[in-house]
A and B are shown apart, each in its own frame.
Chain A
Amino acid sequence: MAALHFHNVTLGYDRHPAVHHLGGKIALGSLVAVIGPNGAGKSTLLRGIVGILRPLDGSIHLGGLDSKDIACLPQSAEIDRSFPISVFDFVSTGLWRAAGLFGGIGKAARDKILRAIGSVGLNGFENRPIGTLSGGQMQRVLFARVLLQDASLIVLDEPFNAIDSKTTADLLALVKHWHAEGRTVLAALHDLEMVRNHFSETLVLARGPVAWGPTAEVLTPENLLVAMRMCEAFDDSAAACGEDGRVQPA
Chain B
Amino acid sequence: MLYDALIGPFTEFEFMRRALAAVIALALAGAPIGVFLMLRRMSLVGDAMAHAILPGAAVGFLLSGLNLFAMTAGGLIAGFAVAILAGVVARSTGLKEDASLATFYLASLALGVTIVSIKGTNIDLLHVLFGNILAMDDQTLLVVAFNATITLLVLAVIYRPLVIQSVDPLFLRTVSRAGGPAHLVFLALVVINLVNGFQALGTLLAVGLMILPAGIARFWSRDLTAMICIAVVAAAVSGYAGLVLSFQTRVPSGPAIILVATVLYVVSVLFGRVGGILRQLFPGRHLEA
Pairwise interchain contact B223-A84, C-beta atoms closer than 8 A:
yes
Give the shortest distance, in Å, between A23 (CB) and chain B (any CB): 24
What's the tally of chain B residues with a CB closer than 8 Å to chain A?
23
What is the CA–CA distance of A52 and B176 in the complex, to the nearest angstrom?
A: 10
Nearest CB of A to B209, in Å: 21
Main secondary structure, interface of B, reads helix
Chain A residue total in the interface (Cβ 8 A): 30
Looking at chain A's contact residues, the main secondary structure is: mixed
> A54-69 toward B: CB 8 Å interface, digit per residue (1/0)?
0000000000000010
**Does A236 touch B at the CB level, under 8 Å?**
no
B171 touches A129 (CB 8 A): no
Which residues of chain A come closer than 8 Å to B170, judged between CB atoms? 47, 52, 72, 74, 78
> In this complex, what residue of B is CB-closest to A90?
B167
The reply to whether A131 and B222 form a contact with Cβ atoms under 8 Å apart is yes
Q: A84-B223, A101-B161, A129-B222 are in contact. Are A74 and B168 (CB under 8 A)?
A: yes
Tell me, in angstroms, the Cα distance from A190 to B166 when the chains sit together: 29
Known interface pairs A83-B167, A84-B39; A68-B224 also in contact (CB < 8 Å): no
Contact check: which of B167, B169, B175 meets A97 at CB < 8 Å? B175
Annotate A105-144 by CB proximity to B: 1 below 8 A, 0 otherwise.
Answer: 0000000000000000000000001111000000000000
Residues of chain A lying within 8 A (CB to CB) of residue B39? 83-84
**Given known A-B contacts A68-B175, A101-B161, A78 and B222 have beta carbons under 8 A apart:** no
A47 to B174 Cα, complex, angstroms? 9
Known contacts A86-B223, A129-B222: does B167 contact A80 (CB below 8 Å)?
yes
- Shortest C-beta distance, B91 to chain A (Å), equals 13
Chain A, residue nearest B169 (CB): A78
Question: Which 4 A/B pairs are nearest by Cβ-Cβ distance?
Answer: A52-B173, A96-B175, A83-B167, A129-B222
